[in-house]
Chain A
Amino acid sequence: MNIKSVKLRDIAKVIRSKNAGPFELTFDVIFKTKEDYEKVKASGVLNKRLIASLYNLDPQNILTFVFYDAANAVKITIPRMRPQGSIGEVDMHGAQQYVPLFDIDIPIDL
């Protein structure tokens, strides 16, 4: 058995970020197949600590980290750095904050 690693972007159909209200930022990762979703979920690679390190956060600040079987999806919600649309805003809709998730290495046994 070879352990091969793929990038999250190669097995995800959707990786996106968006405001969830003016004070939260939410990320959705939706997998292309149930099989990949189940493997990633079982592997434990995708976890709060990894997300926290990617976004310079304390893991305790991650509000939601949930696998959602019905959509083959992972949902992650964090506090916004500042209230939406005020002084210092960089991304009104939170729409471009997902990119660091692209290159997460997922070991998949083939």
Chain B
Amino acid sequence: MVIMRELHILAPNGMLGYGFPVKWFKRALSMNPHAIAVDSGSTDSGPHKLAMGVMTCSKEAYTKDISLLLDAVSEKKIPLFISSAGGAGTNAQVDIFLDIIEKISRQRNYHFKIAAIYSEIDKNLIKEKLKNGQIAPCGPVPPLSDEEIDLATTVVAQMGVEPFLKVLKENDVDIIVSGRTYDPVAIAAMPIKEGFDPGLAWHMGKIMECGALCAEPAGKVMLGVIHEDHFILEPGSLEERCTISSVAAHTLYEKSHPYFLPGPGGVLDLSDARFEQLDDRRVKVSGSKFVASDKYAVKLEGAKKVGFRSIFIGGVRDPILIGHIDEVLTRVAKDVKDYFKDIPLDQYQMIYHVYGKNGVMAELEPVKNATPLELCIILEVAAPTQELATAICSRARTELLHCPYEGRIGTAGNIAFPFTPLEISLGEVCAFNVYHLMEIDDPVNLFPIRYLEV
């Protein structure tokens, strides 16, 4: 086998479906990358994506991005890796991506060999692992139970690089589309398969899975070149530069810890990572280490539906009322609970968001006694049905509008409502309830692979 001395990986952006500048993508493409890799997943847009099976971007947005990528695959004869299809990476979302690829290929007369890798996990397996003590919370997460497993709409696991390696070793495919995947995998897969240092491959993947977010100014297209003992980052756009501080700062982004980054099968240790300015736009990174763990664990993600929400939005300008707002809101909540006393208290929740006071930070707000000019009050009600949520919300609104308070002079109404309908239905509300590490024996076969041609 010929050892490749360097490998070029092109990331068109940090999130498939968010678009990318064609001019800079073409420029990066002209630098002859060996593969195009792009992640499409995130939990950042909230639990309803996974609980309701909603995709992060529209089908149209994915089609636009994928069309450009397929043109490149066809022209350059290089593979394309797309991970965490649709955002949540459910099996259905993988199939939607395959469908998009198939439609574009038919239109443009492209022929591709594709591997699809799925990542939904059988709930019976999770229950068995839970019973065997092979599941632990990933951070400050409530413990898992059989009941919570059943409540989750679907549970996916973040696959590691192993299913990608199996595909790359056994088959000559043009495209891999995977379900939920550890974000750096799409970037790191080919370098690891070709025998490059996994520490460097994972670190390059960690940075490039966000496209050119690590550049100044932050951008989309990023080219990574991995060598035996370092890698080099270069933004696709000539208007962007990677600097030591921009790359080092990005290493911190959205991570719990700056230099220990746990992933499937081990920890990326960046405590000895070195960042060097190679020239005006390129940064060289070395010293990143991957430490394999004794037991292989994957992260499970699941979310459940927890009810329906309604809100009202109102404003307060009266300084006398603003001075008494806490007691007024408490009294209104009590009156509403008395009114609905036939409904058990654990069936619904009423939560005030008081902007001008602590609407943004709630209990984390250190400033306790600010004197605002105005308040914006949002009452959030969550209940088992939309009708009940709206009924509770409505009752609280009328109570608040007219309730008396000490020193009241403005007696015609307490609240300025900007919108009709006065109560706004927000639909279903969801919650992440599975975010746990599960020990597994076989990091390949947990994730079924399907081959197809279009």
| Interaction A to B | yes
CB of B362 within 8 A of CB of A81, answer yes
CB of A83 within 8 A of CB of B252, answer no
User: Of A19, A84, A88, A90, which one neighbours B360 at CB under 8 angstroms?
Assistant: A90
Contact of B309 with A by CB under 8 A? yes
Given A23-B139, A30-B245, decide whether A91 and B366 contact each other with a Cβ distance below 8 A.
no
Given A81-B364, A87-B351, A97-B361, decide whether A73 and B252 contact each other with a Cβ distance below 8 A.
yes
* Residues on the B chain within 8 Å of A72, using CB: 245, 248
CB of B256 within 8 A of CB of A63, answer yes
Contact of B44 with A by CB under 8 A? yes
* Residues on the B chain within 8 Å of A88, using CB: 349, 351, 362, 380
Q: Map CB proximity to A onto B230-260 as digits: 1 under 8 Å, 0 otherwise.
A: 0000000000000001001101111111110
CB of B306 within 8 A of CB of A86, answer yes
CB of B254 within 8 A of CB of A20, answer yes
| Residue among A30, A68, A77 facing the most chain B CB atoms (10 A cut-off) | A68
Given A86-B306, A88-B380, decide whether A55 and B256 contact each other with a Cβ distance below 8 A.
no
Q: How far is the CB of A53 from chain B (nearest CB, A)?
A: 8
CB of A68 within 8 A of CB of B252, answer yes
User: Of A24, A73, A97, which one neighbours B139 at CB under 8 angstroms?
Assistant: A24
Given A87-B349, A87-B382, A90-B359, decide whether A24 and B275 contact each other with a Cβ distance below 8 A.
no
Contact of A43 with B by CB under 8 A? no
Segment from B190-198, B396-404, B430-438 that makes contact with A: B430-438
Contact of B141 with A by CB under 8 A? yes
Q: How far is the CB of A33 from chain B (nearest CB, A)?
A: 10
Question: Which partner residue on chain A sits nearest B47 by CB separation?
Answer: A85
Contact of B353 with A by CB under 8 A? yes
CB of A26 within 8 A of CB of B249, answer no
User: Of A23, A75, A93, which one neighbours B140 at CB under 8 angstroms?
Assistant: A23
* Residues on the A chain within 8 Å of B307, using CB: 87
CB of A64 within 8 A of CB of B256, answer yes
Chain A residue total in the interface (Cβ 8 A): 42
| Residue among A22, A55, A68, A72 facing the most chain B CB atoms (10 A cut-off) | A22
* Residues on the B chain within 8 Å of A54, using CB: 366
CB of A56 within 8 A of CB of B364, answer yes
Q: Map CB proximity to B onto A46-70 as digits: 1 under 8 Å, 0 otherwise.
A: 0000000011100000011010101
- Complex Cα gap A63–B270 (Å): 19
Q: Map CB proximity to B onto A7-22 as digits: 1 under 8 Å, 0 otherwise.
A: 0000001100011111
* Residues on the A chain within 8 Å of B325, using CB: none
* Residues on the B chain within 8 Å of A75, using CB: 252, 255, 257-258
* Residues on the B chain within 8 Å of A18, using CB: 253-254
- Complex Cα gap A97–B359 (Å): 11
Contact of B289 with A by CB under 8 A? no
Question: Which partner residue on chain B sits nearest A99 by CB separation?
Answer: B361
- Complex Cα gap A66–B259 (Å): 9
* Residues on the A chain within 8 Å of B138, using CB: 21, 23
Given A22-B435, A23-B432, A30-B249, decide whether A73 and B258 contact each other with a Cβ distance below 8 A.
yes
CB of A20 within 8 A of CB of B255, answer yes
Contact of B413 with A by CB under 8 A? no
* Residues on the A chain within 8 Å of B258, using CB: 66, 68, 71, 73, 75
Given A90-B359, A90-B362, decide whether A85 and B432 contact each other with a Cβ distance below 8 A.
yes
* Residues on the B chain within 8 Å of A70, using CB: 248, 251, 259, 270, 273-275
Question: Which partner residue on chain A sits nearest B49 by CB separation?
Answer: A85
CB of A83 within 8 A of CB of B349, answer no
Contact of A44 with B by CB under 8 A? no
Q: How far is the CB of B67 from chain A (nearest CB, A)?
A: 29
CB of B257 within 8 A of CB of A66, answer yes
Q: How far is the CB of B270 from chain A (nearest CB, A)?
A: 8
CB of A87 within 8 A of CB of B306, answer yes
* Residues on the A chain within 8 Å of B273, using CB: 70
- Complex Cα gap A55–B364 (Å): 5
Contact of A5 with B by CB under 8 A? no
Q: How far is the CB of A65 from chain B (nearest CB, A)?
A: 10
- Complex Cα gap A28–B255 (Å): 10
Given A21-B139, A22-B47, decide whether A73 and B249 contact each other with a Cβ distance below 8 A.
yes
User: Of A13, A55, A85, A93, which one neighbours B366 at CB under 8 angstroms?
Assistant: A55
Contact of A6 with B by CB under 8 A? no
Contact of A79 with B by CB under 8 A? yes
* Residues on the B chain within 8 Å of A23, using CB: 138-141, 432, 435
Contact of A92 with B by CB under 8 A? yes
23 contacts between A and B (CB under 8 A): A20-B255, A21-B43, A22-B432, A23-B432, A23-B435, A24-B139, A28-B252, A56-B366, A68-B252, A70-B275, A71-B252, A71-B258, A79-B140, A81-B364, A84-B47, A85-B431, A86-B432, A87-B307, A87-B349, A87-B351, A93-B44, A97-B360, A100-B366
Closest 9 CB pairs of A and B: A85-B46, A71-B248, A79-B140, A86-B431, A68-B258, A22-B432, A20-B256, A75-B258, A87-B382
Chain B residues in contact with chain A, CB under 8 A?
Answer: 43-48, 138-141, 245, 248-249, 251-259, 270, 273-275, 306-307, 309, 349, 351, 353, 359-364, 366, 380, 382, 429-433, 435
